[in-house]
Amino acid sequence: MADFNPLISNGTCYYSTGLRSDGRFLPCGNSAFGHVSCCSAGDMCLSSNACFNSRWGVTYLAGCTDRNYQDATCPRKDDENGMCTPKGAFRSGVRS
């Protein structure tokens, strides 16, 4: 029987309750040790459960490994989350 490694990304990511993300999003750890947040492959996972894309200088919220989206690692994505992008970053597909 193999030992689980908490540093190896493992699990399924969800955008919201029951809505599975596509393969571009990976767990920020090993869900065998509890639910974790998810970020796009190549981006940085932050301790706040947000993600950082260094190419564009953008911090964003993605998802988590909890299918029911109730765990504390699941980012709350409402209209008033206070997230903003710096000048020059993409917003809604249009460069500002």
Has residue 85 been placed in a domain?
Answer: no
Q: Which long-range contacts (CB under 8 A, 24 or more apart) does 9-15 make?
A: 11/36, 11/65, 12/65, 12/67, 13/38, 13/62, 13/63, 13/64, 13/65, 14/38, 14/63, 14/64, 14/65, 14/66, 14/67, 14/69, 14/74, 15/62, 15/63
Query: 44 or 85: which carries more pLDDT confidence?
Result: 44
Residue 89, in any domain of the structure: no
pTM of the model: 0.76
Domain count, the chain: 1
Is 64 within 8 Å of 36 (Cβ atoms)?
yes
How high is the pLDDT of residue 2? Answer: 61
The answer as to whether 65 is a domain residue is yes
In a domain, 25, yes or no: yes
